[in-house]
Amino acid sequence: MAPSKKFSKPVPLAELVGVAVDPLLARQGFGQSSLILHWDDIVGARLGACSEPIKLQWPRRPVQRLPEASVEPATLVLRVSGGMAIEIQHMAPQLIERVNSHLGWRAVGRLAIRQGPLSKALARPRIAPPDAQALAEAGKATQGVEDEDLRKALTLLGARALRGPAGRE
């Protein structure tokens, strides 16, 4: 009897990492890994370079909470390097709004800042900005979008898609 060969299809690394990382992040209060993985995109490159989310601290919920009772938002604990803590504290309302927009609901109500060195464990290559030709072509496709912020985001996404996966620095 001949041994049977097993073939497996290729699986994106992101799927394997997500399965391994999500339980670890859940212990830190994160329901999903996107907040950590996309931190630079959420807060911007300048603030992303000097800060990182450590955990989400959810308030204790009463045992006999009514179903219609609202869910209290969490506290996002950030590690911040150097003297940027004051600037991040000053920008807290805008950062909370950006995080909640990314998550799609009012998950975060306040920030708690911890000064200290950042971990470089999640360092990933920076995505190079798209070239002018790709931006122009994507801009044509998004001309009908009325919301300026949405149009800018769609234009950038389209330009990166037109450029392809070779746009890493």
For residue 168, what pLDDT is reported?
46
DSSP assignment of 12-60:
-HHHHHHHHHHHHHHHTT-SSTHHHHTHHHHH-HHHHTTEEEEEEEPPP
In which residue are the tokens 């209290």 written?
A: 72
In this predicted model, what pLDDT tens digit does every residue of 7-66 receive, in sequence order? 667 766 656 666 665 665 555 556 667 788 888 889 988 888 899 999 888 888 777 767
In this predicted model, what pLDDT tens digit does every residue of 63-120 receive, in sequence order? 776 777 677 888 999 999 888 889 999 999 999 999 999 888 888 999 999 998 888 6
**Fold for the domain defined by 17-61+69-115:** GMP Synthetase; Chain A, domain 3 (3.30.300)
Domain locations along the chain: 17-61+69-115, 132-163
